Chain A
Amino acid sequence: NAGVTQTPKFQVLKTGQSMTLQCAQDMNHEYMSWYRQDPGMGLRLIHYSVGAGITDQGEVPNGYNVSRSTTEDFPLRLLSAAPSQTSVYFCASSRVSGNTIYFGEGSWLTVV
Chain B
Amino acid sequence: QQPVQSPQAVILREGEDAVINCSSSKALYSVHWYRQKHGEAPVFLMILLKGGEQKGHEKISASFNEKKQQSSLYLTASQLSYSGTYFCGTESYGGATNKLIFGTGTLLAVQP
The total of chain B residues at the interface (CB under 8 A) is: 25
Say whether A59 contacts B98, CB under 8 Å: no
Q: Cβ of B65 < 8 Å from any Cβ of A?
A: no
Q: Cβ of B81 < 8 Å from any Cβ of A?
A: no
CB A40 to nearest CB in B, in angstroms, measures 7
CB B59 to nearest CB in A, in angstroms, measures 20
Say whether A98 contacts B29, CB under 8 Å: yes
The total of chain A residues at the interface (CB under 8 A) is: 27
Say whether B102 contacts A104, CB under 8 Å: no
Say whether A40 contacts B104, CB under 8 Å: yes
Q: Which chain A residues lie closer than 8 Å to B30 at the CB level?
A: 97-98
Interface string of B11-48 (1 = CB under 8 A from A): 00000000000000000011010100000111110010
